[in-house]
Chain A
Amino acid sequence: MKMLYKPSIWLPLLSLVVVLGGWEVVGRSINPLLFAPPSEVIKQLNVMIASGELAAAAKITMQALFLGYLLAVVVGIPFGIIMGIFDRFGDILQPYLYAIFSTPRVVVVPLIVVWFGIGFEARLFLVFFWAAIAISVNTAQGVRHARPDLVEVARSFQANRMQMARHVLIPGAIPFVLAGLRIGAERAIVGVIIGEMFLQIVGLGGIITQGSSDLLPAKMLCAVVVIASMGTIIVTALDMLERRFQSWKGTV
């Protein structure tokens, strides 16, 4: 990247000061029932940490998020491999997965209520199903797009099936699987928040809904900040992993 984007010390600092300062000024001048300045948000955050409310909510969110995501990984990768190997099966299934994946989840909420109720299972499904689709579709793509040049070389060295899988097919699929893991994680985070805001009002998403009905904008903003940072950390970590293995993809 060019020099333009190399961080100097003062520019990010100035940016932070300007934005937080602006927010503080605007926040103080607006009706406190509608908006809160950062100082207020930090105060609220301390209160919620001290009372254990935040930790309890985060625990509920994390439970559904991690269990659902884990299930999605465990189911999604093998399923994707099957879809990739039996390409006819994959082709037939693809349109449904694509249609479900591009349907906004908030509109599926009424169906989920009917099928799973409003409790933990419903949130788990919201996390699991969409993450599993992302993971399996990408895995299938990875299995199918083995690099023909490497397959050719391996063949000419008379590699057997196991060697072919071990040295060519699996490494070739890994960048795709990792992309699926990242996309799946993004979906999973949104899924758990939707579940907490629309079904049972619990967890971090529940704090937002509660804050909005109690007219406590500071509380709402706290939850938004925590969710955003949680999401950023998880997605950035997976993104870095994905980039680390990007070179295995070769030029397709």
Chain B
Amino acid sequence: MKTRSNREIRRDQIVGVLIFLTIWEITARFLDNKLVLPSVSQIMAAFWDLLISGELILALSESIWLLVVGLFISTVIGFILGALVARSRTAYWMLNPYFSALFATPTIALVPLVLVWFGFGFPGRVIVVVLAAVVPIMFSVASGLRDDPKDLVDVARSFGVKGELALLFRVRVRAALPVLLAGLRLAAGRGVVGMAVAETYLRLGGIGGLIKSYGSLFQTDYVFASILPLSLLGITIVSLIGRLERRFHWS
């Protein structure tokens, strides 16, 4: 099959977006039902309103802060647990089955429990994000550190790197970096979902809370206008990590 150049694809996609938006606008005007399908111009107006009033920026910054804290804690916990699982058979059996089960459980099903235990505040929301994001990080760290880069370790030793901890951070982690970043990318995607789940369920602040409150007012144009930046946020974070991943792909 012939492959088309990136420029051709890009051009087609831009034309596609224009056609898509035009069809949307015409359909929406034809239906003339703001509740079911607001027109593109109405959504833009709502977006502008959210932007001007500062509501959107406040909500987005709250969400991003939640995501950053949650992903940071997930990385720390995931790294420690992953390193343990990679190095010790006991740790593997003590942790892995349960974290696999956690991975298979929809985060949303755990939210009511978290809510009961940790309350409605910021800590509860962070824990939801961590529950969503920690497992991919732990698994990627475990699989990254499991493959022993023997030759690299030997070289490092002969250059005078001493001690397991120094070897871990200076050699093993760097050798495993592509795998770790892949885990982080997966975790970020799940983290965004966790963030949205926590904010929507608890109806507190952030972009999820914004969507929920406009949803319960049945202001569909504002719902669309606030979903859009959330999607963009997720896509941006994931593709940024993906780009980093390709840069460090040195294996």
Interface residues of A (CB under 8 A from B): 2, 4-5, 7, 11-12, 14-15, 18-19, 34-35, 87-88, 91-96, 98-99, 102-111, 113-115, 144, 146, 189-190, 193-194, 197, 205, 208-209, 211-212, 215, 217, 220-221, 223-224, 227-228, 231-232, 235
In the complex, residue of chain B having the shortest beta-carbon distance to the beta carbon of A191 = B106
Cβ of A106 and Cβ of B112 under 8 Å apart?
no
- With contacts A11-B90, A15-B93, A109-B200 taken as known, whether A102 is within 8 angstroms of B110 at the C-beta atoms is no
Cβ of B92 and Cβ of A208 under 8 Å apart?
no
- With contacts A114-B220, A232-B101 taken as known, whether A102 is within 8 angstroms of B117 at the C-beta atoms is no
In the complex, residue of chain B having the shortest beta-carbon distance to the beta carbon of A227 = B109
The listed residue (B36, B214, B218, B231) touching A103 by CB distance below 8 A is B231
Inter-chain CA distance A236–B97, complex, in Å, is: 13
The listed residue (A99, A102, A193, A215) touching B108 by CB distance below 8 A is A193
Cβ of A92 and Cβ of B108 under 8 Å apart?
no
Cβ of B230 and Cβ of A107 under 8 Å apart?
yes
Interface residues of B (CB under 8 A from A): 1, 4, 9, 12-13, 15-17, 20, 35-36, 89-90, 92-94, 97-98, 100-101, 104-106, 108-110, 112-113, 115-117, 146, 189, 192-193, 195-197, 200-201, 207-208, 211-212, 214-216, 218, 220, 223-224, 227, 230-231, 234-235, 238
Inter-chain CA distance A107–B108, complex, in Å, is: 12
User: Could you tell me the distance in whole angstroms from the C-beta of A159 to the nearest C-beta in chain B?
Assistant: 15
In the complex, residue of chain B having the shortest beta-carbon distance to the beta carbon of A189 = B106
Inter-chain CA distance A189–B107, complex, in Å, is: 11
Q: Which residues of A contact B146 (CB under 8 A)?
A: 2
Looking at chain A's contact residues, is the secondary structure mostly helix, strand, loop, or mixed? helix
In the complex, residue of chain B having the shortest beta-carbon distance to the beta carbon of A145 = B1
The listed residue (A102, A194, A208) touching B231 by CB distance below 8 A is A102
Cβ of A110 and Cβ of B98 under 8 Å apart?
no
* Further contacts, 12 of them, CB under 8 A, given A106-B108, A111-B227: A5-B89, A15-B97, A91-B13, A93-B16, A102-B231, A102-B235, A104-B196, A115-B36, A220-B112, A224-B109, A224-B113, A235-B104
